[in-house]
Amino acid sequence: MFPLTEENKHVAQLLFNTGTCPRCIFRFCGVDFHTPYRLPYKELLHDLQKFLETEKDELILEVLNPPPKKIRLQELEDGIDNLSQNGEGRNSVIDNGSVASKNSNLNVCNVCLGILQEFCEKEFIKKVCQKVETSGFEFTNLVFSVSFPPQISVREHAAWLLVKQEMGKQSLLLGRNDVVQLKEAYKWITHPLFSEELGVPIDGKSLFEVSVVFAHPETVEDCHFLGTVCPDCFKPAKNKQSVFTRMAVMKALNKIKEEDFCKQFPCPPNSPKAVCTVLEIECAHGAVFVAGRYNKYSRNLPQTPWIIDGERKMESSVEELISDHLLTVFKAESFNFSSSGREDVDVRTLGNGRPFAVELVNPHRIHFTSQEIKELQQKINKSSDKIQVRDLQLVTREAIGHMKEGEEEKTKTYSALIWTNKAIQKEDITFLNDLKDLKIDQKTPLRVLHRRPLAVRTRVIHSMDAHYVDEHHFRLYLKTQAGTYIKEFVHGDFGRTSPNIGSLMNMTADILELDVESVDVDWPPALDD
């Protein structure tokens, strides 16, 4: 059933004669149900022409703020090709200014620049789907996004003013929001075609995105007058090639007065010679996250690549030993590694290990069975004797928040081998066992001052357990608040940490070895081996 009624006929005829395509005519007539838009273009064009044939009265083309009749007739006679005609109806001007029809080839819509013409048809959708299928991505649904040239907004505004004025003559109103948005109409048409072609549903929450960017070089200067009239709407941006972004253009169109717009831009807009071009068709998958816990057994391995002034200091790192395997298996472009705190290059991480998470950017493979993840964990563990991982699993972005909570809020347990300059007996260290919830003030350590802001942080040593080794050595087990600098608590960092082991024992103390025994964060969930 054809969606337009007699009430729409005058506006439909006006738009059609000025070069607007059937689907854009539907939009300006407020047709907000999907079915008519999905009909093949030739069928729509035929039905619209048939609908308009019943119009008995000749339509006189009126433009906003028309020039004198003599000038208008001369312009129309000289530049008839610039008047946008649609489909098989090409217009010529007869003496009284009315419009007659002659047959011609299909013309490009003066509003959507061909978006709702050939770029909605199955042939174009198949080209996009071919790109998707050869991209190598795994997906079970997708979100489809489009980027239209910003000048389309200018042309829509011009067409809206034309229709608004025409309807005003009939005491009818047409608000800007009464016009169906181009992007909405485009999705109504294309989404079912994509689903049918690819065999998956369109889902706005999908992590797999197919994007198409359109451009129209022929009309790129349509927006430029707005830069003169509303210069404050167009600010240069680092990542934008042009100041005439869609958002900036819309801001200017909302600001400019209607009469000023009509002086600067033709209403109706002129017809272009060519349809839009497709700048790019891109496929991308949102990041996926893998979490686990790692043990570090080497005292010569940094957590992250150790690079100073562009020179690598050590050949590998915990991050690389884990993430390089994930990058390969997930076929991702890059990764971001994070963990619940970090240990120094010469510190081991024992016990149940330290929680970590890896963000895999734009992964092409995303579906893994639990057995495949277990095999991946085994592969990582066999590749190096410096680290081991456990509880490897896929997690959500939101779940990573549990790991970051542990950086400051949880407790950590350490064991330290301590040297003293004075000879000690067992009795000299037993008092440490009696100290509970000892508060210390730590000024940012000298060794990390280049990457951490200068501040004094209060931390808590919850408990200590000292084990005598010999007259110059003892091993100290500590349970502390997360974020405590253990090395500085032992040697004092030239008085920057107070109190410290040296000041408590009234002698010089230094740390020879440090191990992280446990990171008390209950994440990620433990898995059965």
Residue numbers of the domain that contains 326 = 286-408
Tokens (6 digits) for 369 = 């069975």
Taking residues 185-201, what's their average pLDDT?
A: 96
Q: Write down the residue that tokens 């807009």 correspond to.
A: 269
Asked if the structure places residue 72 within a domain, the reply is no
Taking residues 427-449, what's their average pLDDT?
A: 96
Q: 3-state DSSP call for residue 207?
A: coil
Distance CA 48, CA 307 (A): 68
Q: Write down the residue that tokens 């854009």 correspond to.
A: 24
Residues 33 and 163 reside in one and the same domain: yes
Task: Check pLDDT > 70 for residue 72.
Answer: no
Q: Write down the residue that tokens 């433990």 correspond to.
A: 526
294-338 pLDDT, tens per residue? Answer: 999 999 999 999 888 888 888 899 999 999 999 999 999 999 999
Backbone region of residue 247 per phi and psi (left: phi > 0; alpha: psi in -120 to 50; beta: other values):
alpha
Distance CA 261, CA 276 (A): 24
Asked if the structure places residue 73 within a domain, the reply is no
Residues 378 and 422 reside in one and the same domain: no
Taking residues 265-274, what's their average pLDDT?
A: 95
Residues 420 and 443 reside in one and the same domain: yes
Residues 341 and 470 reside in one and the same domain: no
4-25 pLDDT, tens per residue? Answer: 999 899 999 999 999 999 999 9
Asked if the structure places residue 256 within a domain, the reply is no
Residues 34 and 112 reside in one and the same domain: yes
| Among candidate residues 408, 432, 453, the one where a domain is terminated | 408
Taking residues 351-358, what's their average pLDDT?
A: 96
CATH assignment at residue 495: 3.30.70.3190
Residues 395 and 429 reside in one and the same domain: no
In the chain, how many domains are there?
3
Asked if the structure places residue 362 within a domain, the reply is yes
Residues 271 and 149 reside in one and the same domain: yes
Asked if the structure places residue 431 within a domain, the reply is yes
Task: Check pLDDT > 70 for residue 94.
Answer: no
Q: Which residues of 122-274 form beta strands (DSSP E)?
A: 143-147, 208-215
Asked if the structure places residue 81 within a domain, the reply is no
pLDDT band at 529 (very low <50, low <70, confident <90, very high): low
Question: Catalytic amino acids?
Answer: 344
Residues 361 and 421 reside in one and the same domain: no
Q: 3-state DSSP call for residue 383?
A: helix
Long-range contacts of 382-386 (CB under 8 A, 24+ apart): 383/321, 383/325, 384/316, 384/321, 385/297, 386/296, 386/297, 386/298, 386/301, 386/316, 386/321
Taking residues 448-466, what's their average pLDDT?
A: 95
Taking residues 258-268, what's their average pLDDT?
A: 95
Asked if the structure places residue 244 within a domain, the reply is no
Residue 449: the pLDDT is 92
Report DSSP letters for 49-95, one per residue: HHHHHT--SPPBP--SSPPPHHHHHHHHHHTGGGS--BTTEEEEE-T
Q: 3-state DSSP call for residue 186?
A: helix
Task: Check pLDDT > 60 for residue 101.
Answer: no
Global confidence as pTM: 0.81
Asked if the structure places residue 200 within a domain, the reply is yes
| Rg of the chain, C-alpha, whole Å | 35
Cis omega (within 30 of 0) for bond into 68:
no
Neighbours of 109 (CB within 10 A): 28
Residue 63 or residue 51, greater confidence: 51
Distance CA 47, CA 44 (A): 5
CATH assignment at residue 364: 3.30.70.2510
468-517 pLDDT, tens per residue? Answer: 999 999 999 999 998 899 999 999 999 999 999 999 999 999 999 999 99
Note the helical H segments in 109-223. Answer: 122-133, 151-168, 182-198
| Among candidate residues 384, 408, 432, the one where a domain is terminated | 408
111-147 pLDDT, tens per residue? Answer: 999 999 999 999 999 999 999 999 999 999 999 999 9
Q: 3-state DSSP call for residue 287?
A: coil
pLDDT band at 528 (very low <50, low <70, confident <90, very high): confident
Residue 386: the pLDDT is 97
Residues 389 and 291 reside in one and the same domain: yes
Task: Check pLDDT > 90 for residue 292.
Answer: yes
pLDDT band at 54 (very low <50, low <70, confident <90, very high): low
Note the helical H segments in 354-419. Answer: 370-383, 400-409
Angle between helices 151-168 and 9-17 (to 10 degrees): 140
Tokens (6 digits) for 487 = 């090395």
Residue 310 or residue 369, greater confidence: 369
Residue 479: the pLDDT is 97
Residues 37 and 161 reside in one and the same domain: yes
CA 147 to chain centre: 14
| Among candidate residues 354, 373, 408, the one where a domain is terminated | 408
Q: Are 294 and 389 in contact (CB under 8 A)?
A: yes
Q: Are 325 and 264 in contact (CB under 8 A)?
A: no
**What does DSSP assign to residue 227?**
H
500 contact partners, CB below 8 Å, separation of at least 6: 440, 488, 489, 490, 491, 492, 493, 509
Residues 199 and 295 reside in one and the same domain: no
Residues 392 and 483 reside in one and the same domain: no
Q: Write down the residue that tokens 């790692």 correspond to.
A: 294
